[in-house]
Amino acid sequence: MFKRILVATDGSTLSRKAVSKAIELAAATGAELVALYVVPRYPIAYFDGRISISSQDIARIEKQWGDKGQAVVDAVIESAQSEGIKGKAVTSTSDLVAESIIKGAKKHKCDLVVMASHGRKGIKRILLGSETQHVLTHCSVPVLVLR
């Protein structure tokens, strides 16, 4: 049925539900698992033309975030391997989370994307956006969304 499943995770409680389901599906179908964590870039504001944080500090913070992301996906793959599932831990650095998920699915030749959604509605959804909605409408492979 599925050969390779991409699971997008941020380490949150909600995304751990998606990870559990992805591992369950991979075990049931004999698929490999690709765990993806998208690391954000440090936000920089140029309101008054000055940056109040040094480029070395920004690099240090982004490295910490990247290390955290790598630890999250490494734990996912370790859990999958304990179930006899082959897997790969991947991080991507970008502010475009949905695009990174879509590109990751294509790059790793995944035939299913599993991810969580907060299920926000109304004004919260408009203000916060929906990475899940973007993946659903732009991804060329099936997407399983869990809440």
Domain limits of the chain?
4-146
Query: What number does CATH give the domain 4-146?
Result: 3.40.50.620
Res 53: pLDDT: 79
CA 55-60-64 angle, 5° bins: 145
Which DSSP string corresponds to 41-87?
PPP---SSS--SS-HHHHHHHHHHHHHHHHHHHHHHHHHHHHTT--E
Res 130: pLDDT: 79
Measured CA to CA, the distance from residue 116 to residue 98 in angstroms comes to: 12
Q: Classify 3 as helix, strand or coil.
A: coil
Res 119: pLDDT: 55
For residue 36, what are the CA distances in angstroms to 20, 55, 124? Answer: 14, 26, 25
Tens of each residue's pLDDT in the chain, 147 residues:
899 999 999 999 989 999 999 999 999 999 999 999 999 988 876 555 566 778 899 899 999 999 999 999 999 999 999 999 999 999 999 999 999 999 999 999 999 999 998 755 555 554 445 788 889 999 999 999 998
Residue 17: burial class (beta carbons within 10 Å; 0-12, 13-18, 19+): middle
Res 126: pLDDT: 47
Measured CA to CA, the distance from residue 102 to residue 99 in angstroms comes to: 5
**Token code pair at residue 8:** 């997008």
